[in-house]
Amino acid sequence: MNIYDIAKLANVSPATVSRVINNRGNVKEDTANKIKKIIENTGYIPSATARNLSVGVSKNIAFIVPDIENPFFSKILHGISDRASYYNYNVFMFGSDENIEKEHRILKSLSSDMILGILVIPVSHDDMITAQYLKEFEEKGIPVVLIDRDIRNCSFHGVFSEDEDGAYQAVKCLIEEGHKDIAIITGPTTSRPGLNRLMGYQRALQEHGIPLREEYMVSGEFKLEESYHAAKKLFALNHVPTAIFTSNNLTTIGVLQFIRESGLKLVRDISLIGFDDIDYLNLLNIKVSIVDRPIYDMGYQAMDLLQNNYLKRDENRLITQRISAKTWLVKRGSEKHILFKGVNER
Amino acid sequence: MNIYDIAKLANVSPATVSRVINNRGNVKEDTANKIKKIIENTGYIPSATARNLSVGVSKNIAFIVPDIENPFFSKILHGISDRASYYNYNVFMFGSDENIEKEHRILKSLSSDMILGILVIPVSHDDMITAQYLKEFEEKGIPVVLIDRDIRNCSFHGVFSEDEDGAYQAVKCLIEEGHKDIAIITGPTTSRPGLNRLMGYQRALQEHGIPLREEYMVSGEFKLEESYHAAKKLFALNHVPTAIFTSNNLTTIGVLQFIRESGLKLVRDISLIGFDDIDYLNLLNIKVSIVDRPIYDMGYQAMDLLQNNYLKRDENRLITQRISAKTWLVKRGSEKHILFKGVNER
DNA sequence: AAAATTAATGAAAGCGGTTACATTATTCTT
DNA sequence: AAGAATAATGTAACCGCTTTCATTAATTTT
């Protein structure tokens, strides 16, 4: 069943059927109705493939995500998916598993006529191969929008967040509560958010005249196990910090795991502020302060950015649109912070 | 840049180029190498769209999931995605948000020549419209594989799990620990897993001569808030149950939330076994026994099933392949269960 | 009512691949 | 070395839609 069959049934040419299907106008109402009815009755669905080939444009967008199971990314995907369906776009999901070769393979496999645009949360900040691929897509008129993680020395469109400021606020809060020995479990500094959050941490300390201590900056690589061990390292120090800033959600969980396993108690033994909220944690009465941000919206907006860019992909290619989402501190159990202030001053 | 350009550069016909690209053989090695080199140098990527149109088959599969943010589904997606990339398939992600109309809209929008197969976790057990759509796809030779949730009176291929048995084992375990007043917070009985888990619960009680009590079976609809309120209801009863079986991960969390908020303590005040594990809960030292199953594998296998079915979609259409994944009970903090056994016997 | 304008429709050439079939080149027989 | 068999390559139609341009029908103008 194709457009010719429909045309035959309606005694018109395929061109007319096509006009009706695409609401192109210039068709007598009777004719249009007749055709619509036939389409309805036969259950005919036009071939998207043929249309794509003919028009040279598809309705598909590719979303490349480094960790399918991380709820942070699921939220972004949700935002993307909702907005994409508003635009009648379909979303291809690709997981790079934080593996840069895999990311390259995915990019390489993307036949440019299958997709209208690319949304990507890149694995690395410094990866010029990925950057090269992405640039080539842009040159072909396929817009690229980065999410959450920027790529160094490039100016792709993107939706990011105020990582530096978020981290700064968190650490500042800890300082104001009386902490001086504040550690950070960093993400990979090959990722922009990892780097920026570290910078926010450092700035907060410096602005308050607290010297940076090498041993208080340990890497958790944004991963649970690594962060667990990072926490272990911190607690093995001669001078154990009184507070920790954790650079992402998995980092926070890793540290919490260590804390629980060691029989330590939040607030009493250690203060903690994390980056990114963890679902259900608050519900389950585990009160951890965190730096929050509009995650769903970031996906949603990325899709909008892509769409805008797609529509005017020929004009002003010069203007790069980059959005930076605000972050905010969510204090939980902070009364207790203050209550136990004395304890923190080891 | 298309196949004709490459052909021209190589002084051959497009047919030969096509043969090389698809490893069809019957090409002299010299020629093949020359063509390969040119493809390499020019960075030419064949149009998947054109290929799809020509061959009448795409490399895309559609995955329809009811809740993008539920980690259970993320795991399934991960399994699907990994296996799909092995087969060189691309995965379209669609979220139905547990909304049956949305599900219909998605199904209706799927142009059958854009996809090779459909993986779906349907919203409802009883929805004949969805069933009808799916049947039509099957008739067109587009295989359909259900995951986790079956559809009544239909025999689609699928990967499910032993819901009845899982629930049975959980409740049996509670009974053997001495509990007699065991409640269930059910999922929607319009979903097969919801129904089957309820049946497992009932069978366990009956087999042990414990009468069913209407007020001990309250609905949480597989949702967090509803389950929270369901728990509240149970604790407002004259005769509060000593143990609860929760029908899915969100249900468990809802109940845990209520327990925490009410200052109650697991084991001491109430025993709990849930269906499906919750990431990090165990790590965070919240010891909840649960019925587990191979979630990632279910996605992985669903993809395999689809692939098998696609390959032999013409022969034995009669044989429906249905896999049922085993479930197993993960006991956590069970020493304590025994320790506090007396308390359970209110 | 004829001419001019505008609306409705159709014919046919793409879009970029694949592939059946025809043709030419190469190797094998005897 | 001529003929048969096989390998390599090319030609051209086709997949199902869109769209330009030409054509025909319907309206409007005068």
Nucleotide nearest to A113 (CA to C1'): C16
Contacts of B103 in chain A (CB under 8 A): none
Q: Which residues 51 to 110 of A reach strand D, CB within 7 A? A: 51, 53-55
Span B299-310, average pLDDT: 94
Nearest to B48 among A113, A257, A286 (CB): A113
Q: What are the two backbone dihedrals, phi and then psi, of residue A307, each rounded to the nearest 5 degrees?
A: -60, -50
Supply the pLDDT for residue A317: 61
Nucleotide D20 C1' to residue A46 CA (A): 21
Q: Measure in Å the smallest separation between the Cα of B75 and chain A Cα atoms.
A: 6
Sheet containing A217-219, strands listed edge to edge, beginning at the edge strand earlier in sequence: A217-219, A182-186, A243-246, A271-275, A289-292, A328-330
CB contact under 8 A, A284 and B111: no
Shortest Cα distance, chain A CAs vs residue B97, angstroms? 10
Strand C contacts (CB < 7 A) among A residues 48-87?
50, 53-54, 56
Q: Per the CB < 8 Å rule, is B261 touching A81? A: no
Cβ <8 Å between B92 and A60: yes
Strand D atom within 7 Å of A50 CB: yes
- The helix or strand, by DSSP H or E, that contains position B300, with its residue range, turns out to be helix B295-311
Give B297 to chain A, closest Cα distance, Å. Answer: 14
CA distance A97 to B198: 37
pLDDT in tens, B57-106: 899 999 999 999 999 999 999 999 999 999 999 999 999 999 999 999 99
Which amino acid is it at B56?
G
Q: What percent of chain B has pLDDT over 70?
A: 95
- In chain A, whose CA is at the least distance from the CA of B251? A280
Tens digit of pLDDT per residue, chain A (346 long)? 899 999 999 999 999 999 999 999 889 999 999 999 999 999 899 999 999 999 999 999 999 999 999 999 999 999 999 999 999 999 999 999 999 999 999 998 888 888 999 999 999 999 999 999 999 999 888 999 999 999 999 999 999 999 999 999 999 999 999 999 999 999 998 899 999 999 999 999 999 999 999 999 999 999 999 999 999 999 999 999 999 999 999 999 999 999 999 999 898 899 999 999 998 888 888 889 999 999 999 999 999 999 988 887 766 566 778 999 999 999 997 544 443 433 333 3
Check whether residue A23 has its CB closer than 7 Å to nucleic acid strand C.
Answer: no
Question: Among B46, B68, B85, whose Cβ lies nearest the Cβ of A78?
Answer: B68
pTM of the model: 0.91
Tens-digit pLDDT profile for residues B162-188:
999 999 999 999 999 999 999 999 999
- Using the C1' atom of nucleotide C16, identify the protein residue whose alpha carbon is closest: B50
Q: How far is CA A152 from the centre of its chain?
A: 17
Distance (Å, whole) CA B205 – CA B212? 7
- Given an 8 Å threshold on Cβ–Cβ distance, is A75 in contact with B69? yes
Q: Are B200 and B166 a contacting pair, CB within 8 Å?
A: yes
List CB contacts (< 8 A) between A68 and chain B: 74, 77-78, 81
Residue B50, CB, strand C, below 7 Å: yes
> CA of A36 and C1' of D26: distance in angstroms?
23
Cross-chain Cβ contact A284/B75 below 8 Å: no
Instruction: State yes or no: pLDDT of B310 exceeds 90.
Output: no
pLDDT at residue B346 is higher than 70 = no
Could you tell me if B259 and B266 are in contact, meaning their C-beta atoms sit under 8 angstroms apart? yes
**What is the distance in angstroms between the Cα of B143 and the nearest Cα belonging to chain A?**
18
Smallest CA–CA distance, residue B221 to chain A, in Å, is 18
Residue A42 approaches strand D within 7 Å at CB:
no
The answer, yes or no, to whether residue B336 has pLDDT greater than 60, is no
Q: Which residue from B minimizes the CA distance to A52?
A: B49
Q: What is the structure's pLDDT at A318?
A: 62
Q: Which residue has the closest alpha carbon to D20 C1'?
A: A15
Distance B150 CA to D3 C1' (A): 66
Q: Is the CB of B22 under 7 A from strand C?
A: yes
B280 CA to D4 C1' distance (Å): 74
What are phi and psi for residue A190, nearest 5 degrees? -85, 0
Strand pairing class (A328-330; A289-292): antiparallel
pLDDT at B333: 74
Judged by CB atoms closer than 8 Å, whether chains meet at A58 and B49 is answered as yes
- Using a CB-CB cut-off of 8 Å, the residues of chain B touching A60 are 92
- Judged by CB atoms closer than 8 Å, whether chains meet at A93 and B81 is answered as yes
CA distances from A221 to A190, A250, B89 (A): 10, 9, 31
Q: How far apart are CA A56 and CA B53, in angstroms?
A: 13
Q: Are A71 and B75 in contact (CB < 8 Å)?
A: no
Amino acid B37 CA to nucleotide C19 C1' distance, rounded Å: 24
